[in-house]
Amino acid sequence: MADWVLQPFESLGPLRIGASRSDVGEALGEDSREFAKGDSPNLVEAYNGAGVHAYYDDAGRLEFVEVFDPCRPVYAGVQLLGVDVASVVARMRDLGLTAREDGEGGVWFDDHGFALYAPAEASEGVSVFGRGYDTGV
Protein backbone atom coordinates (compact mmCIF):
# COMPACT_ATOMS: atom_id res chain seq x y z
CA MET A 1 0.00 0.00 0.00
CA ALA A 2 1.28 3.47 -0.88
CA ASP A 3 1.67 6.26 1.65
CA TRP A 4 -1.47 8.27 2.38
CA VAL A 5 -0.60 11.94 2.79
CA LEU A 6 -2.43 13.79 5.55
CA GLN A 7 -3.67 17.28 4.68
CA PRO A 8 -4.72 18.98 7.97
CA PHE A 9 -8.52 19.22 8.39
CA GLU A 10 -9.05 18.16 4.76
CA SER A 11 -8.01 14.66 3.83
CA LEU A 12 -6.00 11.51 4.34
CA GLY A 13 -4.95 9.85 1.11
CA PRO A 14 -8.10 9.34 -0.99
CA LEU A 15 -10.47 10.19 1.88
CA ARG A 16 -11.85 13.72 2.12
CA ILE A 17 -13.47 15.06 5.27
CA GLY A 18 -17.10 15.81 4.37
CA ALA A 19 -17.31 13.01 1.77
CA SER A 20 -20.46 10.89 1.52
CA ARG A 21 -20.55 7.22 2.49
CA SER A 22 -20.68 6.20 -1.15
CA ASP A 23 -17.68 8.43 -1.99
CA VAL A 24 -15.66 6.79 0.79
CA GLY A 25 -16.59 3.29 -0.33
CA GLU A 26 -15.72 4.14 -3.93
CA ALA A 27 -12.37 5.68 -2.92
CA LEU A 28 -11.44 2.56 -0.94
CA GLY A 29 -12.78 0.09 -3.48
CA GLU A 30 -14.20 -2.33 -0.93
CA ASP A 31 -17.40 -3.03 0.96
CA SER A 32 -17.69 -1.94 4.56
CA ARG A 33 -18.98 -3.59 7.70
CA GLU A 34 -21.05 -1.36 10.01
CA PHE A 35 -20.71 -1.58 13.78
CA ALA A 36 -21.44 0.46 16.90
CA LYS A 37 -18.40 1.93 18.62
CA GLY A 38 -18.23 3.87 21.85
CA ASP A 39 -21.00 6.32 22.68
CA SER A 40 -21.60 7.44 19.11
CA PRO A 41 -25.26 7.23 18.05
CA ASN A 42 -24.07 6.71 14.45
CA LEU A 43 -22.67 3.43 13.15
CA VAL A 44 -19.01 3.26 12.13
CA GLU A 45 -17.99 1.69 8.83
CA ALA A 46 -14.98 -0.62 8.89
CA TYR A 47 -12.96 -1.15 5.72
CA ASN A 48 -10.70 -3.92 6.96
CA GLY A 49 -8.66 -4.35 3.77
CA ALA A 50 -7.60 -0.69 3.89
CA GLY A 51 -7.33 -0.52 7.70
CA VAL A 52 -9.96 2.24 7.97
CA HIS A 53 -12.79 3.05 10.36
CA ALA A 54 -14.99 5.85 8.98
CA TYR A 55 -17.26 7.95 11.22
CA TYR A 56 -20.08 10.04 9.79
CA ASP A 57 -22.12 12.94 11.11
CA ASP A 58 -25.93 12.98 11.22
CA ALA A 59 -26.01 14.11 7.57
CA GLY A 60 -23.96 11.08 6.49
CA ARG A 61 -20.77 13.04 5.83
CA LEU A 62 -17.31 11.83 6.86
CA GLU A 63 -16.21 13.68 10.00
CA PHE A 64 -13.54 11.44 11.56
CA VAL A 65 -11.29 8.66 10.25
CA GLU A 66 -9.22 6.13 12.19
CA VAL A 67 -6.58 4.16 10.32
CA PHE A 68 -4.55 1.11 11.24
CA ASP A 69 -2.16 -1.30 9.53
CA PRO A 70 -1.93 -1.78 6.51
CA CYS A 71 -2.66 1.94 5.99
CA ARG A 72 0.48 4.11 5.84
CA PRO A 73 -0.41 7.69 6.91
CA VAL A 74 2.28 10.33 6.47
CA TYR A 75 2.43 13.98 7.53
CA ALA A 76 5.20 16.23 6.16
CA GLY A 77 7.19 13.15 5.18
CA VAL A 78 6.92 11.58 8.65
CA GLN A 79 5.44 8.08 8.96
CA LEU A 80 2.77 8.18 11.68
CA LEU A 81 1.78 4.55 12.18
CA GLY A 82 3.79 1.73 13.72
CA VAL A 83 6.68 3.95 14.74
CA ASP A 84 8.04 5.17 18.08
CA VAL A 85 5.57 7.83 19.19
CA ALA A 86 8.21 9.85 21.07
CA SER A 87 10.20 10.29 17.85
CA VAL A 88 7.05 11.31 15.95
CA VAL A 89 6.20 13.89 18.63
CA ALA A 90 9.78 15.23 18.46
CA ARG A 91 9.60 15.48 14.64
CA MET A 92 6.23 17.25 14.85
CA ARG A 93 7.65 19.66 17.46
CA ASP A 94 10.51 20.42 15.02
CA LEU A 95 7.82 21.27 12.44
CA GLY A 96 6.15 23.67 14.89
CA LEU A 97 3.25 21.43 15.97
CA THR A 98 2.12 21.15 19.58
CA ALA A 99 1.01 17.80 21.04
CA ARG A 100 -1.58 17.22 23.75
CA GLU A 101 -1.71 13.90 25.58
CA ASP A 102 -5.12 12.77 26.80
CA GLY A 103 -3.93 10.24 29.41
CA GLU A 104 -5.59 7.35 27.53
CA GLY A 105 -2.92 6.73 24.90
CA GLY A 106 -4.00 9.59 22.63
CA VAL A 107 -1.55 12.21 21.40
CA TRP A 108 -3.55 14.99 19.76
CA PHE A 109 -2.34 17.63 17.32
CA ASP A 110 -5.52 19.69 17.64
CA ASP A 111 -4.26 22.58 15.49
CA HIS A 112 -3.53 20.21 12.60
CA GLY A 113 -6.53 17.87 12.64
CA PHE A 114 -4.98 14.57 13.65
CA ALA A 115 -4.12 12.34 16.58
CA LEU A 116 -2.04 9.26 17.29
CA TYR A 117 -3.18 6.33 19.40
CA ALA A 118 -0.16 4.98 21.23
CA PRO A 119 -0.95 3.13 24.47
CA ALA A 120 2.62 1.77 24.40
CA GLU A 121 5.75 3.03 22.63
CA ALA A 122 4.59 2.59 19.02
CA SER A 123 1.61 4.29 17.43
CA GLU A 124 -1.15 1.77 16.73
CA GLY A 125 -3.66 4.10 15.10
CA VAL A 126 -3.97 7.53 13.53
CA SER A 127 -7.12 9.65 13.53
CA VAL A 128 -7.94 12.54 11.20
CA PHE A 129 -10.76 15.03 11.70
CA GLY A 130 -12.15 18.22 10.24
CA ARG A 131 -12.31 21.73 11.65
CA GLY A 132 -14.86 22.09 14.42
CA TYR A 133 -14.77 18.41 15.39
CA ASP A 134 -15.16 18.04 19.17
CA THR A 135 -11.85 16.59 20.38
CA GLY A 136 -12.84 16.80 24.02
CA VAL A 137 -10.77 19.89 24.81
- Alpha-carbon separation of residue 109 from 7, 61, 76, 106 (angstroms): 13, 22, 14, 10
* pLDDT value at 5 more than 90: yes
The CATH fold of domain 1-130? protein yfey like fold (2.60.460)
Confidence bin at 135 (pLDDT 50/70/90): confident
Vertex 39: Cα angle to 27 and 134 (nearest 5)? 70
* pLDDT value at 23 more than 90: yes
- Alpha-carbon separation of residue 77 from 11, 51, 74, 83, 113 (angstroms): 15, 20, 6, 13, 16
Q: Give per-residue pLDDT as tens, 96-133.
A: 999 999 999 999 999 999 999 999 999 999 999 999 88
Full strand arrangement of the beta sheet holding 33-35: 33-35, 44-47, 52-56, 62-67, 125-129, 114-117, 106-109, 100-101
Domain boundaries, the chain: 1-130
Say how far apart CA 19 and CA 38 lie, in whole Å.
22
